[in-house]
Amino acid sequence: MIPVLALPGTLDGNAERTVRGILEAADIVVGGNRPHDIQVHDPAFYSRVAFEGRLGLGESYMDRQWDSEALDQFTAKLILSPRRQRLTGWKDVVGRAAARLWNLQGPGRVFESGAHHYDVGNDLYRAMLGETLSYTCAYWKDAASLDQAQRAKLELVCRKLGLRPGMRVLELGCGWGTFARYAAERYGVEVVGYTVSREQVALGAELCRGFPVELRFADYRSARGSYDVVVSIGMLEHVGPKNHRTYMETVDRCLKPGGTAFIHTIGSNERQELIDTWFHKYLFPNAAIPSLAQISEAMEGLFVPEDVHNLGPHYDRTLMAWFANFERAWPGLQETYGARFGRMWRYYLLSCAGAFRARFMQLYQIVMTRPGARQPACRHS
């Protein structure tokens, strides 16, 4: 997810000097006393970063070879360095080549992300995400807490869609049914949701009991039916560039004439075929953050982008709130998940917060209609 800095090929004798120089260009000092500085505990850190790139940086942190008091600040500093480039190891090159050659998010692989990440444990997610169980960017405009901000996000989505009682809503990537339940309870709509996580379906069905909500363990491509609204909140990141058009065609197939579609997705400032190697290996297999250009290209001839709203800065605060919840809950989770998982999760949350703080990634909410449809109000407040 985050770019760091490209290091030239080095042997062990030069690795430390090279890495120190790159860090110093980002105003990061090895052994410094500022929160964003780093403390190196094992000299092997330098060669791992030099030769394994982004993967080596993350794995060496997981292995306690280095620390930073404020990983979020460290990441933002590194991204904003005047010498910023992508830190590229050989596995990054291989992964990107594979993504160009093959469809890594095809029907045969789509359930990998659910099993690997979203099925990791509902106890972890309930502790980290708060009472709404919303695993996407919150909306902090008038909110004082994470739960308030998440409910504000759900309300914002409903207002942009103009939901009314009796509407049928299709949600592609429904998580634990958070949006489905909110929309059904507050707006009187019927929701059918799709997810590739068995654990999300199991808990979500329990949480949505009594509401006109159906959650299905199935690939989005299998969606059928006719709906007034089609919505995806935090799902397009798993679709992949080779499938963006297929996603849009699925939405088009299921949307009634005159209906409205909505996408809430992390957005990359640049086109990419695959998420960086560390996140691909440990968090989100086969994910790819779409650029606005890639989304627009996939929409051509099918949909009109009625409203594009960038909430990127809100994700920094959301991630920091998740991190605070995780830290409070960790003593009760550590025995189940282990110390290395804890370091992995901290690195994930804080490095992402730093990436959003540096504006390397955005969060787009996009309202779409078909050509000729009446323009929706798309109210932001």
User: Catalytic: 158?
Assistant: no
> With helix as H, strand as E and coil as C, how does the chain read?
CCCCCCCCCCCHHHHHHHHHHHHHHCCCCECCCCCCCEEECCCHHHHHHHHHHHHHHHHHHHCCCEEECCHHHHHHHHHCCCCCCCCCCHHHHHHHHHHHHCCCCCCCCCCHHHHHHHCCCHHHHHHHHCCCCCCCCCCCCCCCCHHHHHHHHHHHHHHHHCCCCCCEEEEECCCCCHHHHHHHHHHCCEEEEEECCHHHHHHHHHHCCCCCEEEEECCHHHCCCCEEEEEEECCHHHCCHHHHHHHHHHHHHHEEEEEEEEEEEEEECCCCCCCCHHHHHHCCCCCCCCEHHHHHHHHCCCCEEEEEEECHHHHHHHHHHHHHHHHHHHHHHHHHHCHHHHHHHHHHHHHHHHHHHCCCEEEEEEEEECCCCCCCCCCCC
Burial label for 309, CB within 10 Å (0-12, 13-18, 19+), is: middle
Number of neighbours of residue 194 by Cβ within 10 angstroms: 23
> Which of the residues 137, 158, 208, 352 is marked catalytic?
352
Number of neighbours of residue 308 by Cβ within 10 angstroms: 16
| Active-site amino acid positions | 352
